[in-house]
Amino acid sequence: MSGHHQHERAGRTTSPYAARIRAIEALLLEKGVLTEPEVQDSISYMEARSPANGAKLVARAWMDGRFEELLLSDAKAAALQLGMEPEHPAEFIVVKNTPGVHNLIVCTLCSCYPRAILGRPPDWYKSFEYRSRAVREPRAVMREFGFEPPEDVEVIVHDSTADVRYMVLPLRPLGTEDMREDELVELVTRDSLVGVNVPRS
């Protein structure tokens, strides 16, 4: 029970789903199925996964053509090269935006997402509205995120599954040729990694 109270004091969300998770956690701790250090290790593990990892992969690919080739052909190997641990059994595929093609990622069945790299998906990604509309009207969805690809740009929607997770390699913004890799990382947003928007300019 002490772990349950610690999480509440830490100011975590108090949604009905979160309350249910905390109750299950407390029961598992009480029955000895889990220990508090194991719970904390799991939390630390997930918190180490964030869109910042995707931003690092993208910035390195923008700077290094050979790394880009690796990222597009074997994304898990590329992630390992930068010290990430994409050990999830699902395949991890990175799709590249070009001047003529813009990629958008969705999971129409649930919320499959490359958690081992990017962490938890945003709430809107899990919503029924996004999951249904991203396929039917992807341009309208992107417009609501503040981005509208030109009419001559083909929009390709990739449907993540339990077996395959996707991430977008967005186009490098114009005028960033002299920027350092750490500066490029700051331009890459979570939304650009899903394809609903583009990097900061």
Catalytic residues, by residue number, are 107, 110-112
Query: Hey, what's the torsion of the CAs at 87, 164, 97, 54, to 10 degrees?
Result: -20
The gap between the terminal CA atoms of the chain, to the nearest Å, is 48
User: Could you give the CA distance from residue 37 to residue 3 in angstroms, rounded to a whole number?
Assistant: 10
3-class DSSP state of 171: coil
List, as one string, the DSSP characters of 16-71. HHHHHHHHHHHHHHHTTSS-HHHHHHHHHHHHT-SHHHHHHHHHHHHH-HHHHHHH
| Euclidean distance between CA atoms 59 and 78, whole angstroms | 12
8 A C-beta contact, residue 172 and residue 187: no
Helices (H), the chain: 2-9, 16-30, 36-47, 51-63, 65-73, 75-81, 115-118, 123-126, 128-136, 138-144, 181-185, 190-194
